[in-house]
């Protein structure tokens, strides 16, 4: 059974019950002068704002996971799925999209004969599933990676245009390949498919170059911030 206020006063004195509350109030008053409201983030100058390390690291982890998933799917599609198409479906004839230097109508005709009707259906199914998810997820990973690590807005948009062009050309090239294999005598369809495949590989090389440039710039910024003591947890040098 608890003590009444009078019993507490007799045992601890009049100020005993209010000591903790008073100390809490005094600490709050010491932290901020009376009559001064806290500064809103919208009233701060740009040089007074600082990123929260926890949020930044969480975003970096998510972007890293997305980029890794996209890269892993790209490798799976080119090193396993298309190699299986070349071997099992086409009986040893290389899938046209693996030929970075392009191909002619003769190769398309050989590939179509190797596939046969059933193989052609399976080939179209590959383009409708893994061949569709690969450019979408890979492009998303590249968009997030370049967007997070490129502070210059103009350069960021240039990178994003390359990423989006790669995804569009990838999907369009798959459709052109389906049409060319379905009509192997159509030299125009084979030429269009070959041009899109070559463009796809050129854009992929550009994306690899962009990735290297962005990664090097990130390392240089981190080293510069470390040297100047601006990393989270470091004391600023002055």
pLDDT tens, 73-99? 999 999 999 999 999 999 999 999 999
Task: Assess contact for 169 and 207: CB atoms under 8 A.
Answer: no
Task: Assess contact for 127 and 174: CB atoms under 8 A.
Answer: yes
Q: What is the mean pLDDT of the chain?
A: 83
Rounded distance, CA 173 to CA 97, Å? Answer: 8
Q: Is residue 201 part of a domain?
A: yes
* Band (238; pLDDT cuts 50, 70, 90): low
Does position 235 have pLDDT exceeding 80, yes or no? no
Rounded distance, CA 97 to CA 181, Å? Answer: 12
Q: Which of 14-23, 51-60, 173-182 has the lowest mean pLDDT?
A: 14-23
* Band (34; pLDDT cuts 50, 70, 90): low
Tokens of 238: 């002055």
Average pLDDT over residues 2-17: 59
Rounded distance, CA 236 to CA 231, Å? Answer: 9
Does position 21 have pLDDT exceeding 50, yes or no? no
Does position 51 have pLDDT exceeding 90, yes or no? no
Rounded distance, CA 160 to CA 140, Å? Answer: 10
What is the enclosing helix (H) or strand (E) of 105? helix 105-128
pTM of the model: 0.73
- Residue 67 domain boundaries: 54-224
Q: Which tops the pLDDT comparison, 165 or 222?
A: 165
Residues 6+ apart with CB under 8 A from 17: 5, 8, 9
Q: What pLDDT does 26 receive? A: 45
Q: What Å distances lie between residue 155 and 63, 64, 191, CA to CA?
A: 19, 20, 33
Q: Is residue 65 part of a domain?
A: yes
Q: What pLDDT does 221 receive? A: 84
Q: What tens digit of pLDDT does each residue of 106-148 get? A: 999 999 999 999 999 999 999 999 999 999 999 999 999 999 9
Q: Which tops the pLDDT comparison, 4 or 210?
A: 210
Rounded distance, CA 98 to CA 31, Å? Answer: 66
Rounded distance, CA 145 to CA 67, Å? Answer: 7
Average pLDDT over residues 59-64: 87
Q: Is residue 207 part of a domain?
A: yes
Q: Which of 68, 95, 203, 77 is nearest to 133 (CA)?
A: 77
Rounded distance, CA 67 to CA 143, Å? Answer: 9
The structural domain count of the chain equals 1
Rounded distance, CA 60 to CA 70, Å? Answer: 15
Q: Which of 232, 218, 235, 198 is nearest to 67 (CA)?
A: 218
Q: Is residue 103 part of a domain?
A: yes
Q: What pLDDT does 201 receive? A: 98
Rounded distance, CA 12 to CA 25, Å? Answer: 20
Q: Which tops the pLDDT comparison, 106 or 31?
A: 106
Rounded distance, CA 79 to CA 176, Å? Answer: 21
Q: Is residue 177 part of a domain?
A: yes
Q: Is residue 16 part of a domain?
A: no
Q: What pLDDT does 33 receive? A: 54
Q: Is residue 49 part of a domain?
A: no
Q: Is residue 35 part of a domain?
A: no
Does position 227 have pLDDT exceeding 80, yes or no? no
Placement of tokens 């980029």 in the chain: 67
Does position 202 have pLDDT exceeding 90, yes or no? yes
Q: What DSSP state is assigned to residue 183?
A: S
């Amino acid at each position: 059974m608890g003590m009444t206020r009078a019993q507490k006063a007799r045992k601890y004195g009049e100020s005993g019950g209010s000591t903790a509350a008073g100390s809490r109030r005094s600490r709050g008053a010491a932290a901020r002068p009376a009559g001064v409201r806290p500064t809103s983030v919208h009233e701060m100058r740009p040089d007074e704002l600082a990123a929260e390390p926890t949020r930044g690291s969480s975003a970096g982890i998510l972007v890293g996971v997305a980029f890794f998933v996209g890269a892993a799917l790209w490798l799976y599609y080119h090193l396993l799925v298309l190699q299986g198409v070349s071997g099992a479906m086409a009986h040893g004839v290389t899938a046209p999209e693996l030929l970075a230097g392009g191909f002619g109508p003769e190769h398309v005709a050989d590939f179509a004969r190797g596939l046969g009707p059933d193989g052609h259906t399976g080939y179209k199914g590959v383009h409708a599933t893994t061949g569709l998810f690969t450019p979408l997820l890979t492009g998303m990973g590249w968009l997030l990676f370049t967007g997070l690590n490129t502070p210059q807005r103009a350069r960021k948009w240039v990178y994003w245009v390359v990423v989006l062009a790669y995804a569009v050309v990838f999907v369009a090239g798959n459709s052109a390949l389906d049409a060319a294999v379905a009509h192997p005598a159509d030299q125009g369809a084979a030429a269009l498919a070959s041009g899109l495949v070559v463009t796809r590989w050129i854009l992929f090389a550009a994306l690899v170059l962009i990735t290297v440039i962005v990664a090097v710039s990130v390392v240089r910024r981190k080293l510069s911030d470390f040297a100047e003591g601006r990393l989270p947890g470091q004391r600023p040098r002055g």
